[in-house]
């Protein structure tokens, strides 16, 4: 069994120019693996802690030298000699060493860097791609991509309140075809925004447009127009997914809509979302209410859970216990999966297994601050997650993930499975 021999960490930059941690693991048989950790902007309060130096002299306090020191001085000596292909034992050790609920002592960024790099090294040692290492022979399913077209909220510089308008390609029979359709819709959106006089050069954090729309509802309108302009039938060939990211405009128990200049209760917001879901081909709503709004979550799920996918992001933060509690309380019907929200690969896999056992759909997701690390694509295939949310089809930190899936599709050849529209079967539309 290959054993961990050396671990090295370095500070590199992410897609926002923020420092992040990259970890290299080398095994005693010479196999190597690398893991790079992404970073969110619209983070959930209960996420595992991303350790930053807070030293104002470097990167305005955002350096990660402490996390690096933790990897090299604390973690490396303690896990040297451990079997790289016993991921559970390694991750358990990492958690034990940290010893806190939210991984604040060593930092979730330090832990995840090691966890991922070790998995990659173990896969390399076994001579198999990561998806196959994680999922075995049956890991042949490519996910349906939920692709960012327009951004708002903290990803779009506050142009509108809702954070992320995505397209779900439904017509495609292969992943590569799905990407093709999405590219046409992305291009068509530029024309739609130009015609409305709201197009501006440059892209938002996830590569989509950041138009100054007159209302949040207009986001759905322009999505429908872009789908049509690209030559597709809305609702049939392509549908809409939205990440409301409602936690970020929830204050004192109320939703403060700056675009509408209105204050809504949870019931108002849920009713609006329900009306829009009836008027527009919306198939998926993420964080439709805030992480702390438990009553709102129940209402939203009761009202829309049979008609569309209701995803919990900030509310679950890829945490097995929080997901289990949410399921018990009838919250959401799908979970967003972000490895760095929880901090180890094993706990991420646990969340996916728990969701799948309970009939919750899973959407493997990138962060708004990303890197060229493409392990989440392998995670999506390796766990048959079904769906993937990475951002737009521009910016290479996004393309790294899509292009990885194109390579996996090619490699799998005839064995590749793509469920496409079937992933959403069962909703009453
Ligand atoms: P984040 O956004 O990476 O900024 O948290 C992604 C999301 O909210 O889904
Ligand atoms: Zn989200």
Q: What is the CATH number of the domain that holds 146?
A: 3.20.20.120
In a domain? residue 429? no
In a domain, 64, yes or no: yes
β-sheet bridge partners, residue 338:
none
Distance CA 314, CA 292 (A): 9
Kindly state whether residues 112 and 217 are assigned to the same domain: no
pLDDT less than 50: residues of the chain: none
- Residue 60: exposed, middle, or buried by beta-carbon count in 10 A (0-12, 13-18, 19+)? exposed
Model confidence pTM above 0.85? yes
Q: How much is the pLDDT for 428? A: 85
Question: What atom of ligand 1 comes closest to residue 205's alpha carbon?
Answer: 4
Residues 275, 311: one domain?
yes
Q: Is residue 101 part of a domain?
A: yes
pLDDT given for residue 240 in this prediction: 98
Residue 57 is a catalytic residue: no
Which ligand is the nearest neighbour of the Cα of 312?
2
In a domain, 305, yes or no: yes
What are the Cα distances from residue 157, in Å, to 285, 288, 301, 355, 391? 21, 20, 29, 33, 16
- Output the pLDDT for position 275: 98
Total domains, the chain: 2
Looking at the fold, whether 117 and 144 belong to one and the same domain comes out as no
Q: Name the nearest CA neighbour of 148 among 162, 167, 163, 161.
A: 167
Last residue of a domain, one of 127, 148, 181: 127
- Give the residue numbers spanning the domain of 53: 4-127
Q: Which atom of ligand 1 is nearest to the CA of 365?
A: 9
CATH classification of the domain holding 117: 3.30.390.10
3-state secondary structure the chain: CCEEEEEEEEEEECCCCCEEEEEEEEECCCCEEEEECCECCCCCCCCCCCCCCCCCCCHHHCCCHHHHHHHHHHHHHHHCCCECCCHHHHHHHHHHHHCCCCCCCCCHHHHHHHHHHHHHHHHHHHCCCHHHHHHHHHCCEECEEEEEEEECHHHCCCCCCCCEEEEEECCCCCHHHHHHHHHHHHHHHHHHHHHCCCCCCCCCCCCCECCCCCCHHHHHHHHHHHHHHCCCCECCCEEEEEECCHHHHEECCEEEECCCCEEECHHHHHHHHHHHHHHCCEEEEECCCCCCCHHHHHHHHHHHCCCCEEEECCCCCCCHHHHHHHHHCCCCCEEEECHHHHCCHHHHHHHHHHHHHCCCEEEEECCCECCCCCHHHHHHHHCCCEEEEEECCCCHHHHHHHHHHHHHHHHHHHHCEECHHHHHCCCCC
State yes or no: is 190 an active-site residue: no
Q: Which of 114, 224, 113, 209 is nearest to 157 (CA)?
A: 209
Do residues 32 and 120 both lie within one domain?
yes
pLDDT the model gives residue 429: 72
Q: How far is CA 314 from the centre of its chain?
A: 11
Is the domain of 141 the same as that of 106?
no
Ligand 2 centroid, distance to 275 Cα (angstroms):
21
- Judge if 298 and 324 occupy the same domain: yes
Residue 158 confidence (pLDDT): 86
Cα of 40 vs centre of ligand 1, distance in Å, is 5
Residue 181 Cα to ligand 2 midpoint, Å, equals 23
Q: Say yes or no: 108 and 240 in one domain.
A: no
d(CA 116, CA 90): 11
- 85 and 182, same domain (yes or no): no
Do the beta carbons of residue 394 and residue 203 sit within 8 Å?
yes
Structure tokens at 6: 């050396």
Q: Is residue 210 part of a domain?
A: yes
* The domain boundary residue, chosen from 97, 127, 157: 127
Q: Which of 103, 298, 338, 389 is catalytic?
A: 338
Q: Is the CB of 184 under 6 A from ligand 1?
A: no
Residue 163 within a domain? yes
> Which residue's CA is the closest to the ligand 1 atom numbered 8?
42
- Please tell me if the CB atom of residue 378 comes closer than 6 angstroms to any atom of ligand 1: no
The answer to whether residues 327 and 339 touch, using CB atoms and an 8 Å cutoff, is: no
Q: Which of 73, 102, 127 is the last residue of a domain?
A: 127
**Spacing, Cα 247 to ligand 2 middle (Å):** 9
């Amino acid at each position: 069994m290959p054993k961990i021999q050396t671990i090295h960490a370095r500070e590199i930059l992410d897609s926002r120019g923020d420092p992040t941690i990259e970890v290299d693991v080398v095994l005693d048989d010479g196999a190597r693996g690398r893991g790079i950790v992404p970073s969110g902007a619209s983070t959930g309060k209960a996420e595992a802690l991303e350790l930053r130096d807070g030293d104002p002299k470097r990167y305005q306090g955002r350096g990660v030298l402490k996390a690096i020191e933790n990897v090299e001085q604390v973690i490396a000596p303690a896990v040297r000699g451990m079997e790289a292909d016993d991921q559970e034992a390694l991750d358990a050790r990492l958690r034990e060493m940290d010893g806190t609920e939210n991984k604040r002592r060593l930092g979730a960024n330090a832990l995840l860097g090691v966890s991922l790099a070790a998995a990659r090294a173990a896969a390399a040692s076994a001579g198999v791609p990561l998806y196959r290492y994680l999922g075995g022979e049956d890991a042949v399913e490519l996910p349906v991509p939920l692709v960012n077209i327009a951004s708002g909220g903290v990803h779009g510089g506050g142009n509108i309140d809702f954070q992320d308008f995505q397209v779900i390609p439904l017509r495609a029979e292969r992943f590569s075809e799905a990407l093709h359709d999405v590219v046409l819709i992305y291009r068509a959106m530029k024309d739609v925004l130009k015609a409305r006089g709201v197009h501006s050069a440059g892209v938002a954090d996830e590569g989509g447009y950041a138009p100054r729309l007159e209302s949040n509802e207009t986001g759905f309108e322009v999505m429908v127009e872009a789908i049509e302009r690209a030559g597709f039938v809305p609702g049939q060939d392509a549908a809409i997914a939205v990440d409301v990211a409602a936690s970020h405009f929830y204050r004192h128990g109320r939703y403060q809509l700056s675009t509408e200049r209105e204050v809504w209760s949870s019931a108002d917001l849920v009713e609006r979302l329900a009306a829009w879901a009836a008027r527009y081909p919306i198939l998926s709503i993420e964080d439709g209410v805030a992480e702390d709004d438990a009553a709102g979550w129940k209402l939203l799920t009761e009202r829309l859970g049979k008609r569309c996918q209701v995803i919990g992001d900030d509310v679950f933060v890829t945490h097995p216990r929080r997901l289990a509690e949410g399921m018990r309380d009838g919250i959401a019907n799908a979970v967003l999966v972000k490895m760095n929200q929880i901090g180890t690969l094993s706990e991420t896999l646990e969340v996916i297994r728990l969701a799948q056992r309970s009939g919750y759909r899973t959407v493997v997701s990138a962060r708004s601050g990303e890197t060229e690390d493409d392990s989440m694509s392998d995670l999506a295939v390796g766990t048959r997650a079904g769906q993937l949310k990475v951002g737009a089809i521009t910016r290479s930190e996004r393309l790294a993930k899509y292009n990885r899936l194109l390579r996996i599709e090619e490699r799998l050849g005839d064995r590749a499975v793509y469920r496409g529209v079937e992933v959403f079967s069962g909703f009453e539309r």
